[in-house]
Amino acid sequence: MFGRIYQPPLLPYHLPMNFFHTLACCLTLVTMSSAVTPALADIRVVNAQGEYRMGDRDTREDAIRLATEAAKRNALEQVATYLESVTVVSDMDLTKDEIRTYTAGLVIVLNQQTSTTLDGDVVVIKADLLAQMDTDEVAQAITALRENEDARAQLVAMKQENEQLQEELNAVNQTLGSASTPDQVQQAAQKRKEILNRVQSNAMVSQAWTNWILVSPGGIPQGLLNSASGLSPANPHVAIAQQIITSRQPQGPPQPPRPGSRPGRMPSYELVSPPGVSGAPRPFNEIIHGSPRSQQPRSQYR
C-alpha cells in the first residue's frame, strides 16, 4: 500500500464538466434529425395486362399498340379502385370516374414487355406493364388539378373524348376484319392509326398539364406538346394547352445571363419508342420525368 494514492470509484456527479453539454447537443441533433426525416411514401405497384388477337389484316405494330392501350386502361382501373380505399383520397369525396380523370398523368410505368403466343391459329399479342404511383403525390396532384379550372376542364374533356375514341376504335376494328377490298382495308387501317394517334396525343397533353401543375409551373412542357402535335396535328387540345400555359407564365423583362454562366434549362423528358415501334413518341405514363423529389428508374417502355 505504501506509495499509492487511493481513488474512489467515479460516481455520476463526478462526470466531466462538458459531459452534459455534449449530451444535450447529441439529443438536440437526434431530435432535429427525426423532425426532418420525411415519412415513407405510400408507393403502390400494379401489374396490368392487355392483349390483342390479330386478324388476317392486322399488322404486328398495330397489334402491339392495341394491346398496350388495353394494358394501360387496366392499370388505370386498378389505380382508381385502389385509390377509392385510400383515406387521403377518399376524404376528397371523388368518384372513381374523377379519379381516373386526374390520375392519367401520374402513373409511372417502370417496365413493359410484349410477348406473342398462338391460340390455335390466332396470333395473340400480350402486353405486360409494371407501374407504380405515390399516393401522397396523387393526393397533392388531385388537389392542384381540381383548383386549376383550365387544367380540370381540359382533363375532363380529353377523358370523355378518349371514351368516344375507344368506341370508334372497336367499330373500325370490326370494319377492318370484314373489309372485302384493298381500298376498304387501307381506309380502315388508316382510320385506326389516326384514332390511336389521337388517344396517345391526348395522353401526352394530359401529361403536360400534370407536369406543368406539379413539376415546372414556371415553364412550358414544350417537348410533350410538340410530340402530341406530331402525333395528331389536328388535335385542338394541344393548341388550347399551349395558349393557356403560355399566358400563365410569369411576366417580366428577360434577364441576360451573367458572363460565364449558362442559361437555365427546362426539365428534360425522355421519349423512348415502345417495342416494335420505331421512333414513335411515348404516350400517357410511358413518359417518365425526372424531378428533384425523386428519380424513377428509366423504362424501356418508351
Mean pLDDT of 83-95: 80
Residue 108 banded pLDDT, cuts 50, 70, 90: confident
| 196-209 residue pLDDT tens | 999 999 999 998 99
- pLDDT of 276 strictly over 70: no
Mean pLDDT of 113-131: 95
pLDDT of 262: 41
- pLDDT of 226 strictly over 80: yes
Mean pLDDT, the chain, rounded, equals 76
Specify the higher pLDDT residue, 104 or 236.
236
Sorted by where each begins, the domain ranges of the chain are 41-248+269-289
Mean pLDDT of 84-109: 81
Could you write out the DSSP letters of every residue in the chain?
Answer: -TT--------GGGS-TTHHHHHHHHHHHHHHHHHHSPPPP-EEEEEEEEEEE--TT--HHHHHHHHHHHHHHHHHHHHHHHHHT-HHHHTT---HHHHHHHHTTTPEEEEEEEEEEEETTEEEEEEEEEEEEEHHHHHHHHHHHHH-HHHHHHHHHHHHHHHHHHHHHHHHHHHHHH--SHHHHHHHHHHHHHHHHHHHHHHHHHHHHHHHHHT-TTS--HHHHHHHHHH-TT-HHHHHHHHHHHHTSPP-PPPPPPTT-----PPPEE--PPTT-SSPPP-GGG-EE--SS--PPPPS--
pLDDT of 256: 52
pLDDT of 20: 46
Does this model's pTM top 0.85?
no
